[in-house]
Amino acid sequence: MIEPMHERLWAKDLPLDAAIHRFTVGEDPDTDLTLLPWDALGSAAHAKMLAATGLLDPSDATALIRGLQRIANLARQNAFPIPPHLEDGHTAIEADLTRTLGPVGGRIHLGRSRNDQVILALRLYLRDALLRLGLRVADLAEGFLAFARAHQDAPLPGYTHLRRAMPSTFGLWAAAFAEGLLEELEALQGVYGRLDRCPLGSAAGFGVPLPIDRGLTAKLLGFSKVQRSPVDVQNSRGRHETAVLQWAASAGGVLEKFLWDVSLYTTEEFGFLGLPDAFTTGSSIMPQKKNPDVVELARGRCRELRGAAGLVEHIATGLPSSYHRDLQLLKKPLIAALRSADDLFAVLKPLLPALQVQAEAAAAAASDDLYAAHQAYVYVRSGLPFREAYRKVAQEIQDGTFAPDRAALTATHLGGAGNLGLDDLASELADARTWIETKRDIHAQAEAALWAN
């Protein structure tokens, strides 16, 4: 079957086989629905810049911006479908503007290509998604901090090799995840810096022979700078997507260890934590079972994020400079993975305050042998060299005479069980949240100003 070429942005009035059309269009009509509001916003900034540089009549720019705002509003309500014959969001937007505004609608494409148009839409989407995920991670970090404060002195056996090792506390355990997520929030700022460069104006990767003002476009969209090199704009496709997903996967790596611990500590054999029924499901055959499905699925999602980051990286690598159609395949796994990350971080927020500390069971498991290293240091404080003290304790354990002074020593250095540094941690988390919220405010103000045209 041969399809007509009308309405495609690249149409040259030549026939196209329907199977080839389906293959080349792929899933863009579905995946681009997520990008439509960002595509419309970027197009509004483009129209305003064209008017400011004298390349577009101001009244035409105003009409285009109003039309784009209508499209953005419809897209957010899932009320702006992309027909398969229009291929993608860019074509659907331009077709709608042309239908409603006449020839004015066709002027929106002046001075740009679908290449820099899609990169801009992705950049705006990624920028927003990264900061939204950052707030989710900040919520989780603050949840771990609250848990650490509430249970900072409650005994908990510390494990290495899944064997009891040294005395710990629930506070020391929870503070570790708060600190890990704080590191991820600090790393987020570097990833954001990679996204904080406006690519529009690079066109197909070689600029345009028109007096456009790329700096103005960047300012209108709340970017701090322009991504100068048009070639680098195209070469960065996939690089930034990978960076964002690797960041999400790294945050997931912090949470995966927590989820593993919860899975272990809530078993009957450990019994250190209780898992509320809301986070469990039953068995179809065993009436007594309460399975930690939320914990296990969340743990799997953490690994899924690493897989998505690897998939996007593999698609994008191994290509020469400039644009190649392979890059179209990045959108589906990228969008799916960011939605998955958002669901993951959101569902874990109510889990933390719901965990039930079984203090008696955990304290009972903190047996005397955990204090072997502590007792060696007691002997060191009395003058013995550490290796001699180590052998003395080992002999006492072997003889069955080991009776440590549990209260003699505790780790009072910064970060130890006796000095978790939670106030400093709280302050740094607050700073990280403020940074994210400030960036979101900049973006919101830029968007409001564009639509207020």
Query: Tell me, what's the pLDDT at 281?
Result: 81
Fold that domain 2-110 belongs to in CATH:
Fumarase C; Chain B, domain 1 (1.10.275)
Q: Are 344 and 302 in contact (CB under 8 A)?
A: yes
> Do 2-110 and 115-147+167-364+421-451 show the same overall fold?
no
Task: Indicate if the pLDDT at residue 66 is higher than 90.
Answer: yes
The pLDDT value recorded for residue 285 is 81
Three-state DSSP state, 340: helix
Q: Which of 283, 321, 367, 427 is catalytic?
A: 283
Does the annotation count 283 as an active-site position?
yes
User: Which CATH number fits the domain 115-147+167-364+421-451, given the four candidates 2.60.120.10, 3.30.565.10, 2.60.40.730, 1.20.200.10?
Assistant: 1.20.200.10
Considering only CA atoms, which of 162, 165, 152 is closest in space to residue 374? 165
pLDDT digits (tens, 9 = 90+) for 136-171: 999 999 999 999 999 999 999 999 999 999 999 999
pLDDT of residue 87: 78
* Class of residue 313 by CB neighbours under 10 A (exposed 0-12, middle 13-18, buried 19+): middle
- Token representation of residue 63: 């009409």
Q: Residue length, the chain?
A: 453
Q: One-letter amino acid identity for 37?
A: P
Q: What does the domain layout of the chain look like in residue ranges?
A: 2-110, 115-147+167-364+421-451
Residue at token pair 């020839």: 103
Of 6, 161, 284, 382, the catalytic one is: 161
Rounded CA-CA distance 124/122 in Å is 5
H/E element holding 116? Answer: helix 114-150
> Is 21's pLDDT higher than 70?
no
> Would you state the torsion angle of the CA atoms of residues 383, 386, 387, 389, taken in this order, to the nearest 10 degrees?
60
State whether residue 166 is helix, strand or coil: strand
Active site residue 314: no
The one-letter amino acid code at 423 reads: D
* 68-122 per-position pLDDT tens digit: 999 999 999 999 999 888 878 889 999 999 999 999 999 999 999 999 999 999 9
C-alpha 93 chain-centroid distance = 28
